[in-house]
Amino acid sequence: MKSLFDENQINIGVGTWQLGMRGWGKDYSSSDAKEALKFLINNGIKFIDTAEIYGNGESEKNVGEVLSNSKRDKYYIATKIAGSNFKASKIKAKVEGSLKRLKLDYIDLYQVHWEPSAYTNLKESFKELEKICKEGLIMHIGVSNFSSKKIREVSNYLNEYKIESNQIKYNILERPVQEEINYLNENNIKIIAWSPLGQGFLTGKYIEKKPTGFIRKVNRLFRKESLKKYTPLFDFIKNKSQELNIAPATLVLSYEIKKGVIPIPGFKNIKQAEDIVKVLSFSLNDQIVKEIDDLVEPLITRYSKMGFYPPYLPNFIVNLIIKGI
């Protein structure tokens, strides 16, 4: 079977955690965000990412409302099952729940949001997932925040399908260690880049003020000491984007596309959506990519821990933690 990414030219998508309407701050409104999503789909953005946990189903609902006005062949929808729900006996109901909220009859890419706990029988769960694929409810399988070691293990449990993508944190300043990236590239597993704008930090607009909302409170990029450390990068992004007559966000996303990953930026309004759409008709030249590489090399954080939660943390505790997301 051909992978979603081999069959279709997808080099950028969008993320819709923000449409869950929780934790992003006071200036988010579902009507602005839905208008923006409509604009994105009508202007050529085809790949839309959501998850059952964003706003406890609210993101999928809002996305479903917008998609109900679009032709099914205009977009690919990717959603995620929480790692703590990835139990053979629960998966079918979880898929059906997402389909109902999205108002769809199939999901293009179904991703396991993070490595499930050590108590999970992964063989049974992936076998069940494959069965649901064969029933036509899911077209392709992906994972998120999985280590290469775990992908190697779970790939053994799939017969006719394969793991086609790993959604991980990847941006100018934060990426996994090179061995993890190499494994994914060598095995034709597409990297889908979450937080491609560093949750807005990389656009340079948080030099003087901090974002509101609890989600960004725990992001180390927004700490006081970051500002001084990353000033040369902010200056570069500001000057270069002015010179090229594009927004800082467009520059940052175009750099990531050049690195071969699929960025899925979040957004809150049409203005931000316009900066994302601009990426479709813009390409960064290799010289600028090299200048950014040279500048950020000493600043990059390369992480090796891929999982989200300690493996022996019981699922019911994880489910309590994520309820507020």
Structure tokens at 211: 């974002």
Q: Which amino acid is at 70?
A: S
- Burial class (CB within 10 angstroms; exposed 0-12, middle 13-18, buried 19+) of 47: buried
Contact flag: residue 203 with ligand NAP (CB under 6 A): yes
Scan residues 29-68 and list those touching ligand NAP (CB under 6 A): 49
How far, in Å, are 10, 51, 81, 137, 185 from residue 56 at the CA level?
28, 9, 12, 21, 33
CA distances from residue 112 to 116, 140, 141, 286 in whole angstroms, order as listed? 8, 12, 8, 34
Q: Considering the rule CB under 6 A, would residue 265 count as an interface residue with ligand NAP?
A: yes
Q: Is 282 exposed, middle or buried (0-12, 13-18, 19+ CB in 10 A)?
A: middle
CA angle 26–277–61, rounded 5-degree value: 50
Nearer residue to ligand NAP within complex by CB, 3 or 203: 203
Q: x/- string (CB under 6 A) for ligand NAP, residues 240-259?
A: -------x-x----------
166 binds ligand NAP (CB under 6 A): no
Pick one of 11, 18, 85, 166: the residue that binds ligand NAP (CB under 6 A): 18
Query: Closest separation between CB of residue 94 and ligand NAP, Å?
Result: 16
- Distance (Å, rounded) from C-alpha 142 to C-alpha 80? 9
Closer CB to ligand NAP, residue 24 or residue 134? 24
Shortest Å distance, C-beta 43 to ligand NAP = 14
Residue numbers 103-162 binding ligand NAP by CB under 6 A? 113, 144-145
Q: Give contact residues for ligand NAP (rule: CB under 6 A).
A: 15-18, 24-25, 49, 113, 144-145, 167, 194-200, 203, 205, 211, 247, 249, 264-268, 272, 275
